[in-house]
């Protein structure tokens, strides 16, 4: 969204920079010249602002987003894998316990040896 905003602001700055008064006479008045220069100056300020915004976006990506993605992949992924392994071992253990509880007393000795 910030990049779209930046692009729109740049287009606006370009249109301000290219703004020309339509004169009724041959020459522009002092006020028209002053307003045109002010719009060009404002366009320059907007471009500088958008340059800084783009630097901020790139910096945010390097400082915040990349480390968070790395953390998610390395730390959270490892924890999820450990949880899956734990769940699998727990299921196996519970299955063995159920099997042991369902044995008759004659079969217990041979099954316990297993």
DSSP characters over 40-61:
HHHHHHHHHHHHHHHHHHHHHI
Please choose, from the candidates 65, 71, 15, 13, the residue with its C-alpha nearest in 3D space to the C-alpha of residue 44: 13
Predicted confidence at residue 24, as pLDDT, reads 62
58-78 pLDDT, tens digit per residue, is 888 888 888 888 888 888 888
Place of tokens 């734990």: 86
Percentage of the residues of the chain whose pLDDT score is greater than 90? 12
pTM reported for the whole predicted model:
0.48
Predicted confidence at residue 112, as pLDDT, reads 62
Q: What is the mean pLDDT of residues 19-41?
A: 77
């Amino acid at each position: 969204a910030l990049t779209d905003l930046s692009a729109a602001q740049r287009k606006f700055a370009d249109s301000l920079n290219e703004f020309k008064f339509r004169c009724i006479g041959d020459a522009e008045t002092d006020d028209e010249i002053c307003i045109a220069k002010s719009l060009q100056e404002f366009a320059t300020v907007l471009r500088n602002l958008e340059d800084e915004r783009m630097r901020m976006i790139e910096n945010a990506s390097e400082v915040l987003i990349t480390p968070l993605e790395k953390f998610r992949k390395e730390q959270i992924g490892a924890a999820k894998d450990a949880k899956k392994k734990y769940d699998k071992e727990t299921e196996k253990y519970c299955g063995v316990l159920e099997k042991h509880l369902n044995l008759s007393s004659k079969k217990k000795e041979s099954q316990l040896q297993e």
